[in-house]
Structure 1
Amino acid sequence: MGQGGGITFINGTLHDWKRSAPQAHRMENWNIPETLPAGQSTTLYIEWPGDAFTAHIPEFAHETFTLSDTPFHFALAARRINDALTFQVILTNLTTDNNPPGTVIDLGFAHDGDVCFILSGTEGSFTSTNPPIDWMQRNIGTLGPRPLREICMPGTHNSGMSVSRGRTILATEGTCLCQGLSVYEQLVAGSRYLDIRPTITAEGWFSGHYSEIRSPVLGDLLKTWQGMSGQGIAEIVAEVNRFTEEYKELVVISVSHSANALRDYKPFTDPEWAECYKHLSNLTHLHALPNSTSAALADLPLSTFIGGATPKAAVLVLTEAPAHTLEAFPDAGFYTANQLNMFDFYTNTMSADWMATDQLDKIAKNAKDKFFILPWILTQEGARDLVLSSLKEMAVDAERVLWKRLWAGCERGKIPNVVLVDYLKGGGRDVAALCMAVNNMFGV
């Protein structure tokens, strides 16, 4: 027997995908259905032959799908390229945003894991895996009139934690790093919501990931703060500025979980918040609204921020601090988190299936009237996990159920506004493609 793994197809179009006549193949398991229904997701288990790495053939299987009632079709191929097994989609005569006919989209292969292919939209405006970097501007005709609470976008959890710039004695990269890409790279990969957690250390201002660990035996009698500092705040500002110079997109920055390591990791004081805002004032595309303290951000259309005859970028900074800390920075592009009317509650579990069940239940009950943050993340539980668990491995588990389950949990008027993930991947910008499929299929 050979290696196996899953492919999830998300058909966000109005057309069934009809398989052409079955083709000969050399796969151990290649049970491709006759139809992949419109508006649905389908997960298939595929298994390679045992000689996949020794057989001297480049292609093991090839199937063609036609979009019903259209002339458009694409192909799925199982191939070995440079001694790596991979699935590829070939857009034979189909054009999607950023992908002309003939484009080959490499899906990869995850042994005992899942990869996905996403196609959504309508004829003339199809979107697929590998969307453009500036996916908001490229879809401004559709998304521009919609208020932010009716738009789905990718986001990154603890966005500054892709590198270690200082740590406590018990901290490890496996338990503290939440991302594998820098902030700039996350934005290029499709993220439009950054979760920044400012920390003051003896070395300066950084993003941080710190937790108070209590002894499982002695409790509060033996507790300590452990964690790690990530990208510097000035570095993050520079990377956001670089991105917004290159791409005229909206970037939302949530600033929360402040900590001063020089004061036993206590939250910021008002003067420290003022200094934080001074650092963030170096963001070059802060979007200042008139009467900003009363603006209901979630009700404003996307075009308010990045629309117009000349495309423009916009950055919104949301702070967890009390509103009075912004009085010295009026109409400067800083807002309180309450102004976005957010619903943001994570599931405290290391079980991907339970996290998905809980979060989809939260969408059903709360997404209609809120700007819904969907923390599709797994969390460490207790002191032992904070020392031994790997956030990168946990992110793989969470991603595995993202493709399978999120789509089925959405409906018109009840969507996540931010799909918040650890270890966002670049490559095919899969999470951005998923969010655009949600926008195309379930947008109001």
Structure 2
Amino acid sequence: MRHSHLVASIGWLLAAGSTVVNGLCNPQNVTYSNESPPNGTYMPWVLMGAINNVPGAKQYITIVNLTPHRFVLQNTHSYQMDVFDWGDVPQGHARQNTVVYTSKAGKNAVDDGGEAYYAIDGTDKTFMVRAATHIPDAHPTRTVIDLTGMGQGQREYLDPANQSPVTLVITGSDSYGFITSIRFGAGNWMKNIYPVIKDRQIQHVVMPGSHDAGMSTISNKLRGGGISQNTQTQGINIYNQLWAGSRYFDLRVGSVHSITDNSDYSFWTLHVSGETDEIALGNSGESLDDVISEINRFTAESPGEVIFFRVRYLIGIREVPSRGPIYWTADMVNDFFGKLKGVNNRCGNLDTSTTFNQKPASYFMDQNGGNGCVIFLLAGDLTPDVPQDSVPDGIYKANLLSIADDWSNMGNTQDMAEDQASDWKAVSRGGSSDTFHISQWLVSADIVTTTFFTIESIGILPTNPALYWMGVNNMSPQRWPTVILVDYIGVVVKGQHNWDQLSAELYTLAVGLNLYMISENCDISTVASPLLPEGKSAMRLSSMAKPWNGIHYANGTIVDDAPRHSHPGRLEILRKGTRFMNGTVLDHDIVNPYLTSTSM
């Protein structure tokens, strides 16, 4: 047993054995590790348009540990891999593991494969990750996350591209139950962790956010030259974004007017280069009517959430952009307000004597008889002579939520990531610089670059995956953003936007940061961590941590009750030349000793 592992184990045992007095947070129970995992690697942008090919393909598999248990690497074996580098994952951290398929002459890539086996320290739970080729296929390498040793099923992922990671996020604990990113949990995830977050200021509740949320389609109501490659920012509509965990929406709404009659208009979400320019370049997305319908559908199914819509633009543009903007009249504003009044579970007449960011989460979640709050915050181009809000109707000025909106405005992933992490680390949680900090985890490339690579590829290949190693490893119980704002939430493979093709990394990350990371900060979270063995039983999850015995295949097919020994991608025979973690190399073929076992 390595020294670092021994120290971590002792730390867990001390925390697990400490007494939780009156259910209060105790700094002596903190399990967060101060280790520094190895640095990861950013996907080179030049590979975004390349075919994901073998031999020689390099694949990263990132594991995020938001539990009080260390993930201990027990063993690995690999065949025809030039690199198969795995390691322990300390509590509160992530590790980017590396797999390089062999490029040696004379090797048949069909046979390449390897398996890594982990034990969850202090428990009887295990999991494994398999990397293997799948030839012939447009995605010839695949990753299988096998959590049957945790009672959480399996998922087969298409490796999205060469050097773009597949990610696994695990949170919870042995006593609390585990939640993982291979499947989505309850739509109302906030309600499901209500006992944990209810007394925290809303600025101390981490939530996913959707950048340019309405742009999940190109509707061409605005003929401003924008196409999907450089204008579309989401792959799923707002209803599905809500299910994917988003609770903060960057929503840009404008009126699109007839060229011949300015009084003939309708409201659409927009993404343009300058809404007040003489000619605004861009396009339209979802209609405001559809957005409202989608919000109401979600809140009817998943009550109890706090959902912020920060609404920008609030200005008119001609369907063929020309002659500058059309500023809204009072009648147009009231027409817009009339639309918003169709949203259920708005929260009118909230206390405006203090800003919303310092109010406890329960203040909003308990509204409307416990059905939660949909809050509209207006931050557009309204002129001073028209209505700016409608407080009785739950429509507020944006400054009532005091935010630090952190936009790096940088054209590549690494510069953006380093800038974002530096900025949220400068926020002293519970101190004088505390704030509702929005991390815009997205790249602002120029139009030529976005048209060539596409916003989708930039988001889901180099940029979003970097959040789970670089971003996580720059967070701690004292340092983290409130909102993580992304493009293409839930999407992991380009063009795959159906619900069963999505993945729950950001959803699980947000739940885990709230359950684990913030619960270890006793200055903010005064109650004991729910993940400790002696945490309050009232803080246990319901549907989010239920055992699952299913398999989610790469094509989207889900089998909820899989045969006991069904493990896609598992090697039945370990071939001559297979290399184990301890350096042993097989000199003859053997049956895989782990073939019918879910544990080491």
Task: Report the equivalent of 2:440.
Answer: 375
Shift of 1:308: 8.8
* 1:260 partner amino acid: G
Which secondary structure does the structure 2 equivalent of 1:70 belong to?
coil
Deviation by residue 1:347-406 (Cα, 9 ceiling, x = unmatched) = 11211111111111221224642111111111133x655765621222133213212211
Shift of 1:66: 0.8
Please, what TM-score do these two structures have when normalized by structure 1? Answer: 0.86
Within the candidate set 222, 225, 229, 1:174 is matched to 229
Task: Report the equivalent of 2:153.
Answer: 103
* 1:17 partner amino acid: F
Matched, 1:236 2:291: yes
| Structure 1 contact 15–67 (Cα < 8 Å) conserved | yes
> How many residues matched?
425
Matched, 1:350 2:405: no
Task: Report the equivalent of 1:338.
Answer: 399
| Structure 1 contact 155–191 (Cα < 8 Å) conserved | yes
Which secondary structure does the structure 2 equivalent of 1:338 belong to?
helix
* 1:390 partner amino acid: T
Which secondary structure does the structure 2 equivalent of 1:43 belong to?
strand
Task: Report the equivalent of 2:580.
Answer: none
Within the candidate set 88, 109, 112, 2:163 is matched to 112
Shift of 1:413: 3.7
| Structure 1 contact 367–415 (Cα < 8 Å) conserved | no
Shift of 1:289: 4.1
1:190-201 matches, cutoff 5 A: 190-201=245-256
Shift of 1:29: 2.4
Task: Report the equivalent of 1:151.
Answer: 205
CA shift in 2, pair 1:146/1:365, >3 Å: same
Task: Report the equivalent of 2:463.
Answer: 398
Q: Distance in 2 between matches of 1:89 and 1:386?
A: 32
Within the candidate set 40, 44, 50, 2:97 is matched to 44
Matched, 1:435 2:489: no
CA shift in 2, pair 1:295/1:236, >3 Å: farther
| Structure 1 contact 4–46 (Cα < 8 Å) conserved | yes
Q: Distance in 1 between matches of 2:212 and 2:359?
A: 26
Task: Report the equivalent of 2:426.
Answer: 365
| Structure 2 contact 70–89 (Cα < 8 Å) conserved | yes
Deviation by residue 1:127-157 (Cα, 9 ceiling, x = unmatched) = 3213413321222221222221101111110
| Structure 1 contact 25–60 (Cα < 8 Å) conserved | yes
Please, what TM-score do these two structures have when normalized by structure 2? Answer: 0.65
Shift of 1:257: 2.4
| Structure 1 contact 2–52 (Cα < 8 Å) conserved | no
Larger deviation: 269-278 or 8-17?
269-278
| Structure 1 contact 407–438 (Cα < 8 Å) conserved | no
Within the candidate set 87, 93, 103, 2:143 is matched to 87
Q: Distance in 1 between matches of 2:365 and 2:134?
A: 41
Q: Distance in 2 between matches of 1:324 and 1:239?
A: 32
Shift of 1:174: 1.0
Task: Report the equivalent of 1:281.
Answer: 341
Shift of 1:76: 1.3
| Structure 2 contact 406–437 (Cα < 8 Å) conserved | no
Matched, 1:66 2:141: no
| Structure 1 contact 196–256 (Cα < 8 Å) conserved | yes
Q: Distance in 2 between matches of 1:120 and 1:308?
A: 29
CA shift in 2, pair 1:93/1:288, >3 Å: farther
Q: What RMSD, in angstroms, separates the aligned Cα atoms of the two structures?
A: 2.9
Can you give the 5+ residue segments of structure 2 that lack an aligned partner in the other structure? Answer: 1-54, 258-264, 492-501, 519-523, 525-600
Shift of 1:72: 1.5
Task: Report the equivalent of 1:97.
Answer: none
Task: Report the equivalent of 2:270.
Answer: 208
Q: Distance in 2 between matches of 1:324 and 1:370?
A: 31
Which secondary structure does the structure 2 equivalent of 1:18 belong to?
strand
Deviation by residue 1:224-269 (Cα, 9 ceiling, x = unmatched) = 3211011000110000111111111222111012331047235545
| Structure 2 contact 269–287 (Cα < 8 Å) conserved | yes
Larger deviation: 192-201 or 361-370?
361-370
| Structure 1 contact 90–104 (Cα < 8 Å) conserved | yes
CA shift in 2, pair 1:22/1:442, >3 Å: closer
* 2:119 partner amino acid: T
Within the candidate set 373, 390, 401, 1:329 is matched to 390
CA shift in 2, pair 1:224/1:182, >3 Å: same
Q: Where has structure 1 moved over 6 Å in runs of 4 or more?
A: 50-53
Task: Report the equivalent of 2:480.
Answer: 415
CA shift in 2, pair 1:25/1:38, >3 Å: farther
Larger deviation: 124-133 or 234-243?
124-133
Which secondary structure does the structure 2 equivalent of 1:354 belong to?
helix
Shift of 1:103: 0.8
CA shift in 2, pair 1:346/1:24, >3 Å: closer
Percent of aligned positions with the same letter in both sequences?
21
